[in-house]
Amino acid sequence: MNESQFLLAVAGGLFTIGLLGVVIRRNALVMLMCMELMLNGVNLSLVTFSQQRGDAAGAVMVFLTFVVATAEVALAIPIVLLLVKHARSLDVDRYSELKG
């Protein structure tokens, strides 16, 4: 197994662990962290493919996804804090009355 295959296997593992965390856990903050773990798995695969091809396109995409992830966290944390203040819980099932 060469280095690229190993990195892609790690990226797949990170994405799978994050996906399982989003599906199984009901805590809003844990779900956000698992989504970030999934994003890191995708970023690792982008960097690996960029390294294989020998161009910088993957690295540029990773930079852009870091910017999007930063904006996501900057918006999601205050929303979660407001929901916790409203429902007194981090359990996402308690937010069902917020459906439009």
| Per-residue pLDDT in tens (0 to 9) along the chain, 100 residues | 788 899 999 999 999 999 999 999 888 888 888 999 999 999 999 999 998 888 888 888 889 988 988 998 899 888 888 878 877 777 776 667 666 5
Name the 3-class secondary structure at 27.
Answer: strand
Closest CA to 77 of 85, 93, 95, 51: 85
* The token pair that represents 33 in the structure block: 């962290």
What letter represents residue 56's amino acid? A
Task: Write down the pLDDT at residue 98.
Answer: 66
Task: Write down the pLDDT at residue 100.
Answer: 59
What residue spans define the domains of the chain? 3-98
Angle of helix 3-24 versus helix 28-53 axis, rounded to 10? 160
* The token pair that represents 75 in the structure block: 């918006």
C-alpha separations of 10 from 24, 29, 47, 83 in Å: 21, 24, 12, 34
φ, ψ dihedrals at 31, nearest 5°? -65, -40
Task: Write down the pLDDT at residue 99.
Answer: 66
The top-level CATH class assigned to 3-98 is mainly alpha
